[in-house]
Structure 1
Amino acid sequence: MQLSELLSPDCTKCAVEGASKKRLLETISQIVAPKLSGITRHDIFESLLNRERLGSTGIGLGIAIPHGRLPNANHPVAVLLTLDEPIEFDSIDNQPVDIIFALLVPESEHENHLQTLATVARRMNDKDCTRALRHADSDKALYQLFVGEGEQSPCN
């Protein structure tokens, strides 16, 4: 599945105020809820929070990939955020995060979920890509960089 099939421009936000890990998960839930009919912000927040309780999704180098499965979802939804200031996220390297890619998938799409997480992690491991994401100056620019629009995108 292409990242552009999961991530829409309206789920891509640049320079978001993070404040805390909990507040960030609430923000993600608010962004995702309108995309999934019949699923509440609370359901989404609980899914993300329950996954974080298993262990932080902060993968290091200022990046977090919170994710969760939703029993009543009928399609996956992704959110990409950069933060105005890094926040503590209990990352594996104990560094604060400023780039967040959140993924919510139907409970039945386990294999697709894992493949998407692997694709995102590979993209986030590219220092040129993450540098460009951190310097994006608009939601649109952030989206275009991440989905690899344009031949010059370092995230291709």
Structure 2
Amino acid sequence: MQLADLLSPDCTKCAVEGASKKRLLETISQIAAPKLVGITRHDIFESLLNRERLGSTGIGLGIAIPHGRLANATQPVAVLITLDAPIEFDAIDNQPVDIIFALLVPESEHENHLQTLATVARRMNDKVCTRALRHADSDQDLYTIFVNEDDDGSCN
């Protein structure tokens, strides 16, 4: 699956005010809800929060990949956010987070969910890509950096 198939420009936000992990999950829910017919912001928030209760999705190096499965979703939806200032996220390296890629998938798409998470994690492991994301100065710039990739999957 191509990253552009998951992420749309209207679900990409640059320099968002984060405040707290809970507030950030609420923001993600608000951004994603219009893309998921019949699913409320509350449903999305609860899915993300329940997953965080199992263990933080902060993967280290200032990056978090919160994700959740939704029973009534018919398609996957992603949200990409950079924060104006890093926030505590209980990441595995105990470092604050400033890049967040959230993924919401239909409950029945377990295998696709795992493959997509692996793809996103590889992308976020690319230091050139994360540096470019951190320096993006608009929503559109952030989107373009994330979805445009070289043949090897790295940022171009």
TM-score by length of 2: 0.96
Question: CA offset at residue 65 of structure 1?
Answer: 0.1
Which residue matches 1:132? Answer: 132
Q: 1:136 to 1:58 in 2, by over 3 A?
A: same
Which residue matches 1:155? Answer: 155
Which residue matches 1:145? Answer: 145
Structure 2: where are the runs of 5+ without partners?
none
For residues 46 and 154 of structure 1, the distance between their equivalents in structure 2, rounded to whole angstroms, comes to 33
For residues 73 and 32 of structure 1, the distance between their equivalents in structure 2, rounded to whole angstroms, comes to 11
Please list every run of at least 4 consecutive aligned residues from structure 1 whose deviation after the TM superposition is greater than 3 angstroms: none
TM-score by length of 1: 0.96
Instruction: Kindly provide the amino acid, as one letter, of the partner of residue 127 in structure 2.
Output: K
Instruction: Kindly provide the amino acid, as one letter, of the partner of residue 129 in structure 1.
Output: C
Alignment coverage as a number of residue pairs: 155
Preserved contact between residue 132 and residue 154 of structure 1 (Cα < 8 Å): no
Which residue matches 1:20? Answer: 20
Q: What are the superposed Cα offsets for residues 20-54 of structure 1, whole Å, 9 maximum, x if unpaired?
A: 00000000000000101100000000000000000
Q: 1:4 to 1:28 in 2, by over 3 A?
A: same
Question: CA offset at residue 64 of structure 1?
Answer: 0.1
For residues 63 and 18 of structure 1, the distance between their equivalents in structure 2, rounded to whole angstroms, comes to 13
Instruction: Kindly provide the amino acid, as one letter, of the partner of residue 86 in structure 1.
Output: P
- Percent identity (aligned): 87
For residues 155 and 71 of structure 1, the distance between their equivalents in structure 2, rounded to whole angstroms, comes to 33
Question: CA offset at residue 148 of structure 1?
Answer: 1.0
2:92 alignment partner, SS class: coil
For residues 25 and 47 of structure 1, the distance between their equivalents in structure 2, rounded to whole angstroms, comes to 10
Q: What are the superposed Cα offsets for residues 76-96 of structure 1, whole Å, 9 maximum, x if unpaired?
A: 000000000000000000000
For residues 150 and 124 of structure 1, the distance between their equivalents in structure 2, rounded to whole angstroms, comes to 14
For residues 150 and 55 of structure 2, the distance between their equivalents in structure 1, rounded to whole angstroms, comes to 36
1:86 alignment partner, SS class: strand
Question: CA offset at residue 149 of structure 1?
Answer: 6.1
Which residue matches 1:66? Answer: 66
> RMSD over aligned Cα, in angstroms?
1.5
Preserved contact between residue 82 and residue 134 of structure 1 (Cα < 8 Å): yes
